[in-house]
Amino acid sequence: MWSYRSRPRTYGAKPGRLQCLAAILLTALVWAAPHGARAADRPVKIVVLGDSLSAGYGLPVDAAFPARLAQALTAKGIAVQVTNAGVSGDTASGGFGRLAWSVPEGTDAVIVELGANDALRGLDPEVTKAALDGILTKLRDRHIFILLAGMQAPRNMGPDYVRRFDAIYPALASTHRLVFYPFFLDGVATDPKLNQGDGLHPNAAGVDEIVARILPRVEQLITAVRAARAP
């Protein structure tokens, strides 16, 4: 649960076109499989489709969530290629609008981390849900495996809004075949030791905490990808 004394307008600044393109090009590549390995053992290509929480707002590139996730997986001997497709200030509708060029052909799996800015702006939860549903449907149509990272509304938005917004992610998880992580900021939200000065964006230690908590779900996602490759 989290709350604010005042409600900021957005997670990260509204990006320009160049920033959007740069976010896609900032890719963490980790190759741990030998050349010529069996298809099931090839590195799993993962795209993190998100906002500034996953993009690494205020952090060096190598401290952002995709890079730290790749490092954690590599340390466990798991071959992956993790691409940072986070865009600061993005909403679920923004993610839906850029889906085609943010998730290139050949992607095996996508971690969807969107919705925080929708909640901060007080957008209609039905609009957010429809956009996320569109993203999940299009990814599934492309036979891409999905990890949906949930979000919670700030508690100062009022109980009715909180109830409607928080219900989005479990509902989508129940209707789509995917791996579900209920709250991306679990264990990090509202902890000053794990957040930057704005109280919204995780610092380097906060990112590491997110990675440690979500890692078992990411491993589940990778297992599904590898199982689908098996002859």
Q: Which residues are catalytic?
A: 52, 198, 201
Residue with tokens 């009022």: 158
Which residue, chain included where needed, has tokens 């952002």? 64
| Amino acid in position 153 | A
SS (H, E, C) the chain: CCCCCCCCCCCCCCCCHHHHHHHHHCEEEECCCCCCCCHHHCCEEEEEEECHHHHCCCCCHHHCHHHHHHHHHHHCCCCEEEEEEECCCCCHHHHHHCHHHHCCCCCCEEEEECCHHHHHHCCCHHHHHHHHHHHHHHHHHCCCEEEEECCCCCHHHCHHHHHHHHCHHHHHHHHCCCEEECCCCCCCCCCHHHECCCCCCECHHHHHHHHHHHHHHHHHHHHHHHHHHCC
Distances (CA, A) of 59 to 26, 68, 75, 191, 207: 13, 12, 22, 17, 10
